Amino acid sequence: MKTLERVLSKAGVGSRTEARSWIGQGRVRVNGKLIQTPDHWVDLERDRVSLDGKELQAEAKVYVLLYKPKGYLTTYRDPEGRATVYDLLPESLPYVFPVGRLDQDTSGLLLLTNDTQFAERVTNPEHKVPKTYLVKAAGSLEEAQIQSLRDGVTLSDGPTQPAQVSLLRKTGSCTFVEMVIREGRNRQVRRMLEAVGSKVLKLVRTAIGGIEISGLAIGKHRLLTPAEVRGLAPAARRPRRHSAG
């Protein structure tokens, strides 16, 4: 059983916000009956849902890798009319949603899909899927600061898990490091650098799991291969086994 708005969004026809609007406009029927309550419960095994008279069919699963440029929002629409990642995708794609987020000032690898199970598997901290970032940090980071990042720092929402940090090079005014984290907190890398007395000058996510953006031009996208999907979230498409007793 799922709510009507969730059924529409999971079918890949639009976001939950759009689904609520369509339902309110009287464009959705369940078993031929007009329903204008987004929270109406639907049994997917028995009920037939139609939008504008067309019965919903489950969309084929789509997995997109986008090299997000700096300055784009990870949202479907922006009330202020600013550019979003959807401006970079072709209209021929079915509706997909971001798997996690990158803030406006961060560039790099962003995954989008219409597979909610896959997205949950990738973003849930319990699964510890690594996210790799190239960081340009202000100042010359000392070994003690780098070690603090490796040990984990305390943020306003609690201590972080230890990060893998590799020093790449230093210049007179900045330090380049590669950081790997296994959480997905809001602006986490930026906040971790601030916690050790530095500041992020540039941030690029270069990989999620074993998937990298190398070879992909900024602002461009490609579809993940079946092997990449299986490698990134092998448990996302398998039923769980329950042990006896």
> 172: domain CATH number?
3.30.70.1560
Terminal alpha carbon distance of the chain: 28
Whether residues 107 and 219 share a domain: the answer is yes
Separation of alpha carbons 133 and 107, rounded Å = 10
* 241 occurs within a structural domain: no
Q: Does 168 lie in the same domain as 69?
A: no
Q: Is residue 237 a part of any domain in this protein? A: no
Which tokens is 24 given? Answer: 């309110």
Give the active site residues. Answer: 103
Res 243: pLDDT: 38
Instruction: Give the pLDDT confidence of 160-199 residue by residue, as tens digits.
Output: 999 999 999 999 899 999 999 999 888 999 999 999 999 9
How many percent of the chain have pLDDT more than 70?
94
State the burial class of residue 112 (Cβ atoms within 10 Å of its Cβ: 0-12, 13-18, 19+).
buried
* Residue 22 CB neighbours (<10 A): 19
Tell whether 118 and 214 lie within a shared domain: yes
CA–CA separation, 10 and 113 (whole Å): 11
Return the pLDDT at 47. Answer: 87
What the block records as the tokens of 210 is: 């074993």
pLDDT tens-digit map of 16-34: 889 999 999 999 999 999 9
Q: How far apart are CA 25 and CA 20, in angstroms?
A: 9
| Local confidence band at 125 (pLDDT 50, 70, 90 cut-offs) | confident
The single-letter DSSP state of residue 100 is S
**Does the pLDDT of residue 245 top 50, yes or no?**
no
Based on the fold, state whether residues 73 and 120 are members of the same structural domain: yes
pLDDT at 240: 42
Q: Which residues contact 210 (CB under 8 A, 6 or more apart)?
A: 228, 231, 232
The reported pLDDT for the residue numbered 140 is 96
| Residue 204 sits in the same domain as residue 216 | no
Residue 238 clears pLDDT 60, i.e. is over it:
no
Distance CA 174, CA 46 (A): 61
pLDDT at 58: 66
Distance CA 49, CA 11 (A): 10
Domain span including residue 44: 2-55
Considering the domain architecture, whether residues 102 and 222 belong to the same structural domain is answered as: yes
Between 27 and 238, residue with greater pLDDT: 27
- Mean of pLDDT values over 96-107: 93
* Residue 216 sits in the same domain as residue 121: yes
DSSP symbol at 167: E
Residue 240 lies in a domain: no
Per-chain mean pLDDT for the chain: 90
Considering the domain boundaries, does residue 80 fall inside one?
Answer: yes
| Number of structural domains in the chain | 3
Q: Which of 109 and 42 is assigned the larger pLDDT?
A: 109
Query: Does residue 214 share a domain with residue 121?
Result: yes
Q: Give the Cα-Cα-Cα angle 60, 21, 114 (nearest 5 degrees).
A: 20
pLDDT in tens, 32-91: 999 999 999 998 778 889 999 988 876 688 999 999 999 999 988 888 999 999 999 998
Q: What pTM was computed for the model?
A: 0.76
Residue 150: what are its φ and ψ, rounded to 5°?
-65, -35
In this prediction, residue 241 has a pLDDT band, given cuts at 50, 70 and 90, of: very low
In this structure, of 6-15, 67-76, 99-108, 130-139, the range with the lowest mean pLDDT score is 6-15
